[in-house]
Amino acid sequence: MADLSRLRNISEKDRKMLAEAEVMLGPEPSEMGFVKNLFWGRLRNELVFPYPEQDKRERARCDKLLDRLDAYLRDEHPAVQIDREEEIPAWVIRRLFEQGVLGMTIPEEYGGLGMSVTSYNRVLERIGRTCASTAVVVSAHQSIGCKAVMLFGTDEQKRRWLPGMATKELSAFCLSEPNVGCDAGGQETRCELSDDATHYILNGEKKWSTSAALSGLFTVMAKQRLTDPSTGKTSDRVTALVCTPDMEGIDIYEKNRSKCGIRGTWQARIRLTNVKVPRENLLHKEGKGLTVALSCLNYGRCTLSAGMLGSAKRCKDQGIKWSQTRYQFGRPLAAFDLVQERVARMAAYTYAMDAMLYLTTAMLDRHDKDIMVETALCKVFNSEMGWRVVNDAMQIMGGEGYMTENEVERAMRDARINLVVEGANEVMHTFVFGYGGKQLAEQMVGIKEALLPDASQTVSANLWRMLRNAMRPSVVKTAAGLGAELYLGRRPPKPTAPTVHVSLQPYANRLSDLVHDHSHQFKQVSRRFMEKILNNQMMQRRLSENAMWLHAMACTISRLDSQIKAGDSGPAFERDRAAAIYFLEMAQIEIRENIGRLTRNADDPMRAAAKAALEHNDTLPTGDFVVPERSPNAKGRGRKPATRGVRQFPGDGVEEPSVQDRVTRG
């Protein structure tokens, strides 16, 4: 395959970005996952059909835990207090440890419950129905905080740290920085091995570290200058280190910041100054920190989705009940078409969210080789559809939904962050397009390099290269098929549709048709834009969204097929069946509209409008606005955010003002 970083006619910045992406993502798995195959026009039905069932013994264990958790959440959990007072009481954390919730995925030999990813997400979904703040804290601890030790720790490291993490101590994941958000490879925190090779010296700053001010262990990502022994070349690579708060030089100078939603969670700012980290605290290998981080994020993206699913289901049920009991113009709101549309949409989205989440957790539980795109899409889909569900419930409830005592108001504030964290959805769409279609794009570039003229070469060099490659049967066969499709309209055969219940077979056949078209459109867009596609995020998003809708369709068909074949019946099943069918119809419309926008869109007027708005904004004084604290072009020139009446969370050694002082002095 071709190396995309060697593409011609691209800027050095783009070339560097591609090279860094190659390093960050590492080598391709030997077997492409379900979503990557969609870009090739293939359906790996065995990965999705039949819908995976949880082991009966494991499910029974989880059911018992959920029964205990239900009683606690119903009778004790102070969700309103947590939101109002902006912190989770210590007794709540103790109760969750006592129930095993905060150690449920840690192996039993280290004091945890040793439960599956699917069970873990079932618990997160249940917590998400009641309190998003608590769901985030539970998720941050086990999905990313101590998950790195579980996945990459040595036996000695696991024995040293996991028992505490399973029974009494929270953990934190330190990746983000003032200048590092979605750009995980852009770490400015640095570490270097000491002269005597006994410890690492760590310097930098971390931001948005959930529960760090309350934790007994941090997984810290830092850049390290390393030499490749095979080439002798040196480069900066990310290394993962385990730190503890008692290490000299660690200063949690801000425990938290007041925020819109998930108000009970605390995100710390940490200053690291010449911190001596013992060499035995290295996780995995030097320079392999991004492997650690990205592996952990696969789990965090699922648990974020589970919490959002729980909240969306609760808001759906509340909104539907309101539509049946609120009367206007002599009729219940549920009698009106436009309200019915919202009711149906909420049911459809939550069904598909559920289907995608638990199919993804099953992939993690069975250790599928290639699931990074699937977990990214699970996060994007559940955060976006969950936000839509909460918004629909809010609209149905009208003014009452906006009132603080009605839980939908809190759910709306809590849900919004999910479109940002664990990879902003815009970045995730670019990732899905780039990584999902990477291998197919490499093949297309390879054919171009082999058989088409290169303006940078002489005529004789071009002829010799093209003739030499034309003698290679594999190159000619691939090029002939690709050329026939792109220029003569002769597409390859459609993928084999999954075999499902007769009532669902038309939808399975349609899925095959749409996958066939998706691959063709990806190839056509790649041919039309060539290297320029790297900067055309509008096209990237449309193709990524189509991969998302196709994946959601497959998950939905598979889940409904399993319910039908299991003989499910009754009102709940009829709701599920109708919701699933409605979702499948909506998804097809979304896909067709996106395909249409690949050639008929308002992208150029959009860019012109954005350019004019940006140029006008340049005329406004920067001092009137808040700007990023480390902005390369406006640092120190922006307006300081107003903090009067906003609770502050200073670090240790700084007295926190009383509630009255916060209100009167700011």
> What confidence tens digit (pLDDT) does each residue in 550-570 have?
999 999 999 999 999 999 999
Percent of the chain residues past pLDDT 70, beyond the cut: 87
pLDDT in tens, 266-287: 999 999 999 999 999 999 999 9
Tens-place pLDDT, residues 95-134: 999 999 999 999 999 999 999 999 999 999 999 999 999 9
Residue 141 pLDDT greater than 50, yes or no: yes
pLDDT value at 480 more than 70: no
CA distance 179 to 169: 29
Q: What is the pLDDT of residue 466?
A: 45
- Nearest Cα residue to 526 out of 465, 445, 469, 600: 445
Q: What is the mean pLDDT of residues 251-266?
A: 96
Q: Confidence class of residue 438 from pLDDT cuts 50, 70 and 90? A: confident
Per-residue pLDDT tens over the stretch 184-197? 777 899 999 999 99
CA atoms of 190 and 211, how far apart (whole Å): 22
Residue 462 has pLDDT above 80, yes or no: no
650 bridge partner residues: 254
| pLDDT, averaged across the chain | 89
**Cβ neighbours of residue 452 closer than 8 Å, sequence gap 6 or more:** 466
pLDDT at 226: 93
| Residues forming the active site | 422
pLDDT at 317 exceeding the cut of 80: yes
Does the pLDDT of residue 3 top 80, yes or no?
no
Contact 124, 307 (CB under 8 A): yes
| pLDDT tier for residue 649 given thresholds of 50, 70 and 90 | very high
- What pLDDT is recorded for position 194? 95
Burial label for 12, CB within 10 Å (0-12, 13-18, 19+), is exposed
Q: What is the pLDDT of residue 666?
A: 32
Q: Is the pLDDT of residue 473 over 80?
A: no
Report the pLDDT value the prediction gives residue 237, as an integer from 0 to 100: 92
Q: Is the separation of the CB atoms in 305 and 353 below 8 Å?
A: yes
User: 654: pLDDT confidence band, cut at 50, 70 and 90?
Assistant: low
pLDDT of residue 657: 44
> Among 302-316, 482-496, 632-646, which range has the highest average pLDDT?
302-316
Bridge partner list, 236: 225
Identify the burial level of 566 via C-beta atoms within 10 angstroms of its C-beta, where 0-12 means exposed, 13-18 middle and 19 or more buried: exposed
